[in-house]
Amino acid sequence: MAYRIVTLPGDGIGPEIMAPTLEVLRAVGEFEFEEHLFGGASIDAHGVALTDEVLGACKAADAVLLAAVGGPKWDTTDPKKPRPEQGLLGLRKGLGLYANLRPVKPIAALYDSSPLRRERIERTDLLVVRELTGGIYFGEKTRTETSATDVCSYTEEEIERIARVAFRAARSKVTSVDKANVLETSRLWREVVMRVHSAEFPHVQLEHVLVDNAAMMLVSSPRHFDVIVTENMFGDILSDEAAMLTGSIGMLPSASLGDSGPGLFEPVHGSAPDIAGQGIANPLAMFLSAALMLRHGLGLESEAAAVESAVSRALEDGLRTPDLGGGEDTRTATRAVLDHLNRS
């Protein structure tokens, strides 16, 4: 039986990187793809970024594959107007996706593409585990003519479950990132993470690092980290920073998972409206997100490894899209990866 995948091409370069990703997936298995409007495209068609129909289709799928959302067309500071990002937040909440996994492992062929020196990033292999449905992004919001508030709120249960995800993923160490010297939510975060550690995972090393120090360490000594676990906004910022270790944000995939039901898989990069329609978008983070879907969403480990290997070998052969300092376009990048998949 073919797995049922809901695809959400979204906005900007989204449709341009979704189409070749389906080619890559067809090369490793049988899937049924069901495409829906999402983000800005959905706002244009339906007035909202995520319709009830699309959310229902996602809940009924085996996995959800998302390309990108947003763009200047829908940018607004008016709280009454819809924004594409509201669809993403609604999808995470609706599917119960509280754990965002962002692996950061620079490919050897791209060491020299990173703005950091090779010796700084060599052998980096870390995982950012970001809490995805709590914190300031989902807290109560107020707005008057002269002031605004965004409430950051966490419960013990929300912190416990994301801490368990991090400890289970760790090979040796978990670095819990907070701002406990200032924020009450961070103090609760630290207390709960320590309690989960001592009660359930005493064999895993645990350290606590303040978020500003963690930001510095990511670029000065990234090999220090094994698993980083942190709250929603800190994880959003740190994982984008970590993307530069790989040479380009166009290389970083992510997986968003819950306790049950379908996961959501998407590249970390945005919709890149400045290059949309030019056919030069880097599809590799999208391919690697599909690999995470195969592994974490569908349990297809060998197929996931095949896609990741094909991407690595294409880069070793010299494939470079414009964001990596080269001139190959989306179609050329796709052909290079498919050629290696077809040889394996």
Contact indicator for 254, 265 with CB cutoff of 8 Å: yes
Contact indicator for 218, 225 with CB cutoff of 8 Å: yes
Question: Phi and psi for 286 in degrees, rounded to 5?
Answer: -70, -40
Measured CA to CA, the distance from residue 266 to residue 286 in angstroms comes to 6
Residues labelled as active-site residues = 137, 179, 212, 236, 240
